[in-house]
Amino acid sequence: MIRLAPTLLVARIGMCKLPSDIAAPSLNSPLLRKLTLWLVSISEEAIDVLLSACHVLEALFLQDIHDVGRLHISSPTLRIISFSATLFGREELVVDDVPRLERLLCRGVDCETIQINKAPKLKVLGPLSPHVSKIRIANLVFQVRSSNTTLISSRIQQS
């Protein structure tokens, strides 16, 4: 069983497999501001539970995360999300309803699409991995040239 101390401000969890059925009460971290997960195998459900238990989390660092097909991140408090060498298996990263997000750093993200639905304060997006071919920000779609990860076209997405 995994338990986090309620007085924890910074946590670094690594080199483990987090179970899919993590219980939210055992992860309740009302003061946690910075969370780093590295060399972790974790499911989409476990990440959702973990983020919902961190009520003031401002910075999330994910490095060498495995076993996540489609990662969906939603948090009212996150300001920074950073990925490094994270394998999604050619699926997508969805950032949905993260109103305070200012920086989304995507070094080494192995997914085809990054979708950002609601992040009105986003100022920095990048650097991008050569694996990312499409970025959606609300209704705007950017196609990415894979050879040098530059944006080559944009269009309004048809509904």
b/e per residue 101-115 (b: at least 16 CB within 10 A): bebbbbebbbbbbbb
Kindly list the domain boundaries of the chain, sorted by start residue: 10-111+122-129
Report the helix count and the strand count for the chain, using DSSP H and E. 1, 12
Average pLDDT over every residue of 77-96: 81
CA distance 55 to 98: 13
Average pLDDT over every residue of 15-28: 77
CA distance 99 to 116: 11
Query: What is the identity of the amino acid at 78?
Result: L
Q: Which residues contact 28 (CB under 8 A, 6 or more apart)?
A: 4, 6, 53
Mean pLDDT estimate for the chain: 81
Whole-number pLDDT of residue 88: 57
Confidence class of residue 154 from pLDDT cuts 50, 70 and 90? very low
Strand 124-125 relative to strand 92-95, pairing: unpaired
* 108/33: higher pLDDT: 33
Under DSSP, the state recorded for 128 is: P
Confidence class of residue 159 from pLDDT cuts 50, 70 and 90? very low
C-alpha Rg value of the chain to the nearest Å = 16
Whole-number pLDDT of residue 104: 93
Q: Which residues contact 114 (CB under 8 A, 6 or more apart)?
A: 92, 93, 95, 104, 106, 125, 132, 134, 135, 136
User: Has residue 153 got a pLDDT over 60?
Assistant: no
